[in-house]
Amino acid sequence: MTTTQLEPGAKIGDAEVFDLALSWRGYRINKMCNALSQPAERKAFQADEEAFMARFGLSDDEKKLVRARDFAGLLRAGGNIYFLLKLGVVTGNGLYKMGAAMRGESYEQFLATRNDAGAT
């Protein structure tokens, strides 16, 4: 079986492929989100988000995305969905709320599609 390597910056549909370049672009975001795996780090984030983001060297644009809970923007900035889930949970935005926001739907609209065989 042979596989074809995608070109850097490739997209599948509208989605960017999480490649090495995107990984490096999102390094600070992902490192910060991964820290939220630890209870003490979650408390530190909840106590002072600004200081927490500064600890990980987030850029002003990255900080704006975190403050806005703009998960689609964080993905475009190189965030990995598995790390972003940690941020989502800490901020009260679990997977379905994140999905709704990314699709531009209300939480209720998004939930209504979960049992729809054609839902994308």
pLDDT tens for the chain, 120 residues: list them.
677 766 776 777 777 777 777 778 899 999 999 999 999 999 999 999 999 999 999 999 999 999 999 999 999 899 999 999 999 999 999 999 998 988 889 999 999 988 766 665
Residue type, 46: Q
Q: Could you give the number of structural domains in the chain?
A: 1
Is residue 118 a part of any domain in this protein? no
Q: Residue 117: inside a domain, yes or no?
A: no
Residue 97's Cβ-side half-sphere holds a number of Cα atoms within 13 Å equal to: 12
Residue 6 lies in a domain: no
pTM, full prediction? 0.80
Owning domain of residue 56: 19-112
Residue 65 CB contacts under 8 Å (≥ 6 apart), including other chains: 29, 73, 74, 77
Classify residue 5: in a domain, yes or no: no
Residue at 13 is within a domain: no
What CATH number does the domain containing 59 carry?
1.10.700.10
- 102 is a domain residue: yes
Give DSSP secondary structure letters for 94-114.
-HHHHHHHHHT--HHHHHHTT
Asked if the structure places residue 100 within a domain, the reply is: yes
Across 11-76, the runs of DSSP E, i.e. the strands, are 11-12, 15-16
**Does residue 11 fall inside a structural domain?**
no
